[in-house]
Structure 1
Amino acid sequence: MSTYKRATLDEEELVDSMEGEVYPNGIQVNFRGSGSSKGCWAERTHVEKRLLVLTVALSAGFLACICVLLFQFRTRLCLTESCISVTSSILSSLDRTVDPCEDFFSYACGGWIKANPIPDGHSRWGTFNKLWEHNQAILKHLLENTTAQVSSEAERKVQRYYQSCMNETKIEELQATPLVDRIKKLGGWNISGPWQEDDFNQTLLQLAAQHHIWPFFSIYVSADSKNSSVNIIQVDQAGLMLPSRDYYLNKTQNEKVLAGYLTYMVQLGMLVGGQDEAETRRQMEEILDFETTLANITIPQEKRRDEELIYHKMPARELKNLSPAVDWMPLLNAVFSPVEINETEPVVVYAKEYLEQVSYLILNTDRRILHNYMIWHLVRKGAGFLDQRFQDAEEKFMEVMYGSKKTCLPRWKYCISDTDINLGFALGAMFVKASFAEDSKAVAEEMIKEIKMAFEESLATLPWMDEETRRSAKEKADAIYDMIGYPKFIMDPKELDKVFKDYDAVPDLYYENVMQFLNFSARVAAEQLRKPPNRDQWSMTPPTVNAYYSPTKNEIVFPAGILQPPFYTRSSPKALNFGGIGVVVGHELTHAFDDQGQDRLSSISLIHLLEFIFLLSTPPHTLFLLRCLPLRAVSFLNP
C-alpha cells in the first residue's frame, strides 16, 4: 500500500525545475529565478525600510485628515420641509432691488413691509402683531368650540366670559343701564342728573374697593424692592386719563388730541344721561382743567428712574400727615379686606411730593368738581363694556389720538383680547395644550443657557469693568431665573380651579362679568399681603406675544405666545432660532444691567454694592461711560 507524502518546495527549486519548459503549443516560457540578485525591497537597509513605512503611513494619515476636513466643512444644505419653508420666507422678506451697502434695513425687510401693509384698525404693524393675530385665531377656535371637552371649570368660565362679550344683542338691549345703576349707588353724577353731595372719602373708598379705580393715587401690593422676601403695601401717583402728562401740558403740540378728548368726554356724558350738551361740555371742561392741574403736579417718568430717590418707607399712620385730605386707615382696610391693617403697617410711598400736593389740591377744589372727576373715571373705565354707541365714541377718539380706526376690527378680536387680559391664565391653559409642545421648554431653556454663557464671556472683554464688579455682574447673571412657556399650575385642572373658585361668569351679562372680575382680582391682591412673594407668579399670560425682565425677582419670562414662528420653531436650524427668540432673550437679559436693573444684585436687594465698588475703583472718565451707557442702551432697546 502506497502512502502520500506532501512535498515541500521552495521558490528556487520550483523555478529551477521549470526553467526552459516547452508547452505543447510550441511556446517556450522561460522563468528566470532571482538567483543571487536581490529585489528592490530586499536591497533596502532595515532603517530605510522603517522610514519608508513611516512615510507611507504619514502620507495616508495626512490624506485621511484632508478628506475628513473637506467632509466636515463642505457646504451642507438643509433640505427639510422646515428649512425650505423658512428659506422661502426669508427670501420673500428681502427687497433685492436695494443695495444692502446703502440701506441694509430696506434690503433685509423691504419685501416683508411691502407684503404686509398696516391693516385697518392698527397704528403699527410688525412680526409681533402678526403673531398675535395668529394666536388670536387659535384662541377663537378654542373659545367658540363649546362642544369640545375642557379639563377644568376655570376653562368653562373663560368660555362663558367670552360668550358674554360676544353677546352683542344683550349688550345693545341693556345700553347704558349697567353703568347708570353703578353711578346711582355712588350718589349720582351732576352731569347726568341729581347727585348727593356725599362724603368725598366715602366715594373714593367705594371706587377703590369695589371697582379698583384710583382717581388720585394707586394702592397695590408688591414685593418690597429693598427686601424681596416680603410683600408690602405700595402707594404711587395715578389719575391721568391720557397716556402721559405731556398731553395736558404741551397744549400747542397736542391741541388736536385735547379737543378730541373733550369731545369724547361730552359724548359719554350725554350717553350716560346728560340732558343739555352745552352744560355737559361746561362741566367736562372743568374736569379737564382739573386733570391738567393734576398733570402739573405729576412727577415725569424720567425723574423717577432712580428708585433709591423715590423710595420712602413709613408706617401707615404717617400717610395722614403726608396727605391729610384722605382718610387713609378706613381706605386701606376697605381695599385689603378681610386683611386687617393697623397704623403700624409698613407702607412704601413712591410719590411723596405728589401726595403732599394732591392733598392740597383736593382740599382746595370744589366738591362738585371732585365728585364729577371721580365718577368720570368710572364712566371712562366702563364705557368699553357697553353698547355700540360707546364703542363708536371711543373709536373716534382713538382715531384722533393714534390715527387708526378700530371699526375694522371684528368683535371677536376685541373679546379675545379682553378675555386674555382678565382671565388669561385659564385661557392660557387652553392655548398651551393646543399649540405649545412640551419639549419646546427644554430647547428654549438650553438656548437661554447658551446666551447667558456668551454674555458672561463678554464681561471678560470689558476694559472699563474692574474684577470685583465683573464678579458681581457674573453672579447676578448666574442668578437670573428664567420662566418658559407658562406657570405650572395652569396645567393642573385642580390647581387652576382653586385659583378661580371665587369668580364666576354668566353668558349674557358682560358688564357685570367685568365688574365681578375687578372685585375678584382685588381680593386676590389683598390676600398676597400676608404671603411671601411667589417667584413663580407671572405678570404676563401664556398667549402673550412678548417677554419681560423683573428687577425685584431677577427673572426673565418668555410666554408660550412668543415661542412660535417666526421667533421660534422646533424644527428650524438653531441659527434661525438664535436670530429670532435669541434676540428677545438677549434684550431681556440686558435689562438686568440697565439703569433699572443694575442696582439689584443676585440677592435681589436694593443695595448699591455694585455701584459703590465701581465708584471706588474707577477713574472719572469711566464713570462717565457708566452713566452714559444705560441711557444709550435704554434708548436703543426701547426706541
Structure 2
Amino acid sequence: MSVALQDLRNNMSSYKRATFEEEAADNPADGAMSPDSVEVGFRKGGIQFLGPLGRRTQMEVVLAGVLLCSLLALFGCAVTLGMRYNTDPARSLCLTEACITVASKIVEALDRSADPCHDFYQYACGGWVRKNPLPDGRSRWSTFNSIWDQNQALLKHLLENGTFNSSSDAEKKTQFYYLSCLNEQHIEELGAMPLIDLIAKTGGWNITGPWEKDNFMEVLKTVSGPYRAQPFFTIGVSVDPKNSNSNVIQVDQSGLFLPSRDYYLNKTANEKVLKAYLDYMVELSLLLGGDKNSTQGQMQQILDFETALANITVPQDERRDEEKIYHKITIAELQLLAPAVDWLDYLSSALSPLDLNDTEPVVLYAKEYLQQVSDLINKTERSLLNNYMIWNLVQKGASSLDQRFENAQDKLLESLYGTKKSCTPRWQTCIGNTDDTLGFALGALFVKATFDKHSKEIADAIYDMIGFPDFILDPKELDDVYDGYEVSEDNFFQNALNFYNFSARVMADQLRKPPNRDQWSMTPPTVNAYYMPTKNGIVFPAGILQAPFYAQDHPKALNFGGIGVVMGHELTHAFDDQGREYDKDGNLRPWWQNSSVEAFKNRTECMVEQYNGFTINGEHINGKQTLGENIADNGGLKAAYNAYQAWVQENGEEKRLPAVNLTNDQLFFVGFAQVWCSVRTPESAHEGLMTDPHSPPKYRVIGTLSNSPDFAEHFQCPTGSPMNSGHRCVVW
C-alpha cells in the first residue's frame, strides 16, 4: 500500500489537528474537515516579547501570561531531559565529540557565499541542497524524511529479528501484518482476485461485468461502512467542538481522489495530471476485467462526475472560520437538507449496532455542499453513481494487490509528484503501512528500543503528552486497543479489509462514550507534533525527540532553535485564526472581546499579504490558506528565542561551536533554518501550494526571520535589506 496514494482525500483522524510539518501521506483534499492552529506572544522580566502594533488588550495580556507559563514548563522539561550547561567564557569552544560532529554538519549545510541578509535560506541551506539531490523515487527530501528513514530502519530490524518474542498480542499482530505485506510471492499469486471477489460481493461493477441495478443505498452503505471508502461525503465520530465533553456524528464534504479541487477545475494547468489520472483509472479497470471498448468512456464519465463534485467542493481557504462552518442539526433535519440519501438508514448501518433515531444530533461542516451533492446525486444516472462508488472501493483495495497495480500507480505518481518509478524498498512501504494500521503497537516496539525510561518519567512530571501514551507499555491495555482486529501472517489484502471493518466498529463504539482526552492521533515513531484545540493540548511524539531537533549533548542554542521552536509553534496554535475560537476547555465559542477580534484580524491581514507575495516556481503562496501555520511559525520562533535568552540569563553563556564562526545567538537562527533544508520536485511543490496549510520550507525560514528584529540585530542586517525590509508583520 503506497503511502503517497493511500488516502489523497480526507482523513477524519486528522480533523481538529494542527501539525508542525506537512504529513507524510499526501495532504487531504479540500474535503478534509478543517484543521486548526494558533500563535502566541508573552512578556518576561521587562523584555518586550509582544509585537509593537499598539496597546495590548487585557485579553492579550492574559493570553501572553498563559503562553509564558506553558513555554517555561515545556522548555524546563527539555532542559531537565539532559540539557546540561557550563559557565565557561562565551568565547571558549566546545570540543566534545558531539560538538565537533554537529559543527561539521552545520558548516556542510551552509552556503558562505550567500548573504544572510539577502536570502537566509540560501545561506543556511545552500550547501545542504547541493549535497542532497532527490533520492530515486522521492518527490521531496528533508530532515523530516531523513529521520523517518532512520526510524523505519530501526523498526525493520525489530520486526525482522529472528528472536522476536513478545508477550503482547498486539505486538504479535504488528509483526504478522508487516510480514504479510512483505510476502510478495503470495500477493502475486492472488493477483487481482481478492478485489474482483470483493466487487462481486458488493453487487458488481458495470465496468467489469453484471451489476445489481437500483441498489444505490446498499452499495453506498457497504463501500463507506465496513470498507471505509468516502464517496460523496465523509462521516465520523469525534469530539463536538461546541461541547468538548461529548462525541458526536460529524459529516463533511468528500469524494475527490486527486489532492485538490484545483486539479479538476484548472484543466489547462493540470492537463498532464488529469490525463495520467484517467489512464490510471482505465488501467486498473482493465486489470479487474473491464472491456477495452467501453472502459475508457465509462471512466471518463466518472472523472467528469468527480469534476462536478470538485465544482461544489468548498476550497480550504474558505473553511478557516470554524464558527461559520459548524452546523448542528438532527438526522431528521439532515434528511430535509439532503434527501437523496436515506440518512437514518445510512448512519445506522455505518454505526451498527448503535440504536439511532431521527433526533440524533449531527454536526455538519459543509451544509451547502451537502445540499448540492444531494441535487447532483438525484440528477445522475444510477449506473454512473454505481460506477463512481465502486471506483472508490477500487481505490481502497488496489494498493494491497500485485505489482501490476503498483506499476499503474507509479505512472500516476510521476505525473502528480514528479517521481520516477518508485525505488522505495518493499520493507519501507510495509513499515509505513504497519504504522498506519497498528501504529501504537509498532510504537511500543520503537519506544522500548529508543526512549529512556527516566526521561519519560521526567517528561510526565511536567507534561503528559511527550514521547508516547503510557498505555502502549502495558501489554494488556495495548492488546485491548486492538482486540477484535484479526491479522494473518500471509494475507495482506484480507488484513487491510479486516482493519477497515475494525476501524468502523471502533468509530461506532466512540459515539456513546465521553472523549478520551489522553488519546493520541499520531503514533510514537512519527516525526512531527500537533495541537488539538478541542483538548487544548499539544503532543510531541517520540519520533521527533532526536537530532537535529533535540540532543542532550548539543548546544542549547540548537535545542531551543529545534525542539524549542516546535514547542513554541504548537503552543502558538492555541491562538491562531482558528485556535483562538476555542476556549480553555476546548469549546468552540466567541470568547474574545470584539476589540480583541478586530485587532487580531488587522494584524493577520498584514501576514496574509506578506505571504501572498512569496512565490515558488512562479506560483504564489496562498497567504489565507497558510495563515494559521504562519502565525504559529512566527510565534514559535519568538517564544523559543526568548526562552533561550531567559536560559542564558539564568545559566550564563555556553561554549561556542568550533569552525562555524557564529555567535550562539546566530547559531540559534541557523539551527532553526537548517531544520527546513529540503529539496522537492516542481510537481510536488505545485501540489503543496494547493493543499498544504504550511508555507513551503524556504518561506518558513525567510518569512519568519524577516519578521524578527532579534534576527536582524544579530546578523546586522541593514534596514531595507530583503531580510530586514523595515516592514514587519507581528500578530502577537
TM-score range, shorter chain: 0.7 to 0.9
**Mapped partners of 2:126, 2:411: distance in 1:** 32
Amino acid at match of 1:578: F
Contact kept in structure 2, 1:425 and 1:541, CA below 8 Å: yes
**Mapped partners of 1:339, 1:590: distance in 2:** 39
Counterpart position of 1:315? 330
**Mapped partners of 2:131, 2:556: distance in 1:** 26
**SS of alignment partner, residue 558 of structure 1:** strand
Counterpart position of 2:13? none
Counterpart position of 1:236? 252
Supply the RMSD in Å over aligned alpha carbons.
2.0
- The offset of 1:612, in angstroms, is 3.1
Q: Which of 523, 537, 561 is matched with 2:543 structurally?
A: 561
CA-to-partner distance for each residue in 1:438-468, whole Å, 9 max, x for gaps? 344467679xx8xxxxxxxxxxxxxxxxxxx
- The offset of 1:198, in angstroms, is 3.8
Amino acid at match of 1:531: K
Equivalent residue pairs, number = 532
Pair 81,306 (structure 1): closer, same or farther in 2 beyond 3 Å = same
Task: List alignment gaps of at least 5 residues for structure 2.
Answer: 1-86, 609-623, 634-693, 696-732
**Mapped partners of 2:273, 2:576: distance in 1:** 33
**Mapped partners of 1:166, 1:195: distance in 2:** 34
Taking the TM superposition and a 5 Å limit, the aligned residue runs for 1:206-605 are: 206-276=222-292, 278-441=293-456, 483-605=465-587
- The offset of 1:187, in angstroms, is 1.2
Counterpart position of 1:87? 103
**Mapped partners of 1:624, 1:107: distance in 2:** 33
Q: Which of 87, 94, 98 is matched with 1:78 structurally?
A: 94
Pair 144,574 (structure 1): closer, same or farther in 2 beyond 3 Å = same
Counterpart position of 1:136? 152
Contact kept in structure 2, 1:482 and 1:555, CA below 8 Å: no
Counterpart position of 2:21? none
Counterpart position of 2:125? 109
**SS of alignment partner, residue 520 of structure 2:** coil
**Mapped partners of 1:611, 1:237: distance in 2:** 32
CA-to-partner distance for each residue in 1:569-596, whole Å, 9 max, x for gaps? 1232322211111121122222111111
- The offset of 1:351, in angstroms, is 1.1
Contact kept in structure 1, 2:335 and 2:342, CA below 8 Å: yes
Contact kept in structure 1, 2:534 and 2:585, CA below 8 Å: no
Structure exhibiting the larger radius of gyration computed from Cα positions: 1
Once the two structures are overlaid, the 10-residue window that deviates more, 207-216 or 78-87, is 78-87
Amino acid at match of 1:166: L
| 1:634 correspondence with 2:650 | no
**SS of alignment partner, residue 535 of structure 2:** coil
CA-to-partner distance for each residue in 1:246-266, whole Å, 9 max, x for gaps? 111111111111011000000
Contact kept in structure 2, 1:599 and 1:611, CA below 8 Å: no
**Mapped partners of 1:287, 1:511: distance in 2:** 25
Counterpart position of 1:452? none
Contact kept in structure 2, 1:601 and 1:610, CA below 8 Å: no
- The offset of 1:92, in angstroms, is 2.1
CA-to-partner distance for each residue in 1:30-60, whole Å, 9 max, x for gaps? xxxxxxxxxxxxxxxxxxxxxxxxxxxxxxx
Pair 243,416 (structure 1): closer, same or farther in 2 beyond 3 Å = same
Identity of aligned residues (%): 59
Task: List alignment gaps of at least 5 residues for structure 1.
Answer: 1-70, 450-480
- The offset of 1:628, in angstroms, is 4.3
- The offset of 1:84, in angstroms, is 2.3
CA-to-partner distance for each residue in 1:332-380, whole Å, 9 max, x for gaps? 1111112211111111111111111111111111000000000000111
**Mapped partners of 2:295, 2:287: distance in 1:** 11
**Mapped partners of 1:628, 1:78: distance in 2:** 42
Contact kept in structure 1, 2:207 and 2:295, CA below 8 Å: yes
**Mapped partners of 2:524, 2:186: distance in 1:** 30
Pair 577,269 (structure 1): closer, same or farther in 2 beyond 3 Å = same
**Mapped partners of 2:600, 2:587: distance in 1:** 25
Q: Which of 207, 212, 234 is matched with 1:196 structurally?
A: 212
Pair 582,267 (structure 1): closer, same or farther in 2 beyond 3 Å = same
Pair 484,622 (structure 1): closer, same or farther in 2 beyond 3 Å = closer
Contact kept in structure 2, 1:440 and 1:570, CA below 8 Å: no
**Mapped partners of 2:124, 2:435: distance in 1:** 33
**SS of alignment partner, residue 359 of structure 2:** coil
Query: Which structure shows the bigger proportion of residues in helix conformation?
Result: 1
CA-to-partner distance for each residue in 1:179-233, whole Å, 9 max, x for gaps? 0000001111111111121410111011122101120111100101011010001
Pair 442,308 (structure 1): closer, same or farther in 2 beyond 3 Å = same
Pair 72,541 (structure 1): closer, same or farther in 2 beyond 3 Å = closer
Contact kept in structure 1, 2:155 and 2:431, CA below 8 Å: yes
- The offset of 1:166, in angstroms, is 0.4
**SS of alignment partner, residue 136 of structure 2:** coil
**Mapped partners of 2:320, 2:200: distance in 1:** 41
- The offset of 1:613, in angstroms, is 5.3
Counterpart position of 1:155? 171
**Mapped partners of 2:454, 2:421: distance in 1:** 38
- The offset of 1:532, in angstroms, is 0.7
- The offset of 1:139, in angstroms, is 0.8
CA-to-partner distance for each residue in 1:106-145, whole Å, 9 max, x for gaps? 2322222222211011111110011111111001101111
CA-to-partner distance for each residue in 1:464-492, whole Å, 9 max, x for gaps? xxxxxxxxxxxxxxxxx761111110010
Question: When the two structures are superposed, what TM-score results if normalisation uses the length of structure 1?
Answer: 0.80
Pair 320,80 (structure 1): closer, same or farther in 2 beyond 3 Å = same
- The offset of 1:75, in angstroms, is 3.1
Pair 74,403 (structure 1): closer, same or farther in 2 beyond 3 Å = closer
Counterpart position of 1:119? 135
**Mapped partners of 2:593, 2:296: distance in 1:** 53
CA-to-partner distance for each residue in 1:389-427, whole Å, 9 max, x for gaps? 000000000001110135211111111101101110000
**Mapped partners of 2:600, 2:550: distance in 1:** 38
Amino acid at match of 2:584: S
Counterpart position of 1:612? 594
- The offset of 1:146, in angstroms, is 4.2
**Mapped partners of 1:279, 1:360: distance in 2:** 27
**Mapped partners of 1:202, 1:281: distance in 2:** 26
**Mapped partners of 2:559, 2:516: distance in 1:** 30
**SS of alignment partner, residue 610 of structure 1:** coil
Contact kept in structure 1, 2:604 and 2:627, CA below 8 Å: no
Pair 353,594 (structure 1): closer, same or farther in 2 beyond 3 Å = same
Contact kept in structure 1, 2:551 and 2:559, CA below 8 Å: yes
| 1:175 correspondence with 2:172 | no
- The offset of 1:553, in angstroms, is 1.2
**Mapped partners of 2:386, 2:487: distance in 1:** 31
**Mapped partners of 2:601, 2:408: distance in 1:** 52
- The offset of 1:535, in angstroms, is 1.0
Contact kept in structure 2, 1:146 and 1:159, CA below 8 Å: no
Once the two structures are overlaid, the 10-residue window that deviates more, 312-321 or 434-443, is 434-443
**Mapped partners of 2:420, 2:156: distance in 1:** 22
CA-to-partner distance for each residue in 1:238-295, whole Å, 9 max, x for gaps? 111111111111111111110110000000000001132x310000011111111111
**Higher RCO structure (Cα 8 Å, ≥6 apart):** 2
**SS of alignment partner, residue 233 of structure 1:** strand
**Mapped partners of 1:601, 1:145: distance in 2:** 48
**Mapped partners of 2:253, 2:232: distance in 1:** 7
Amino acid at match of 2:378: L
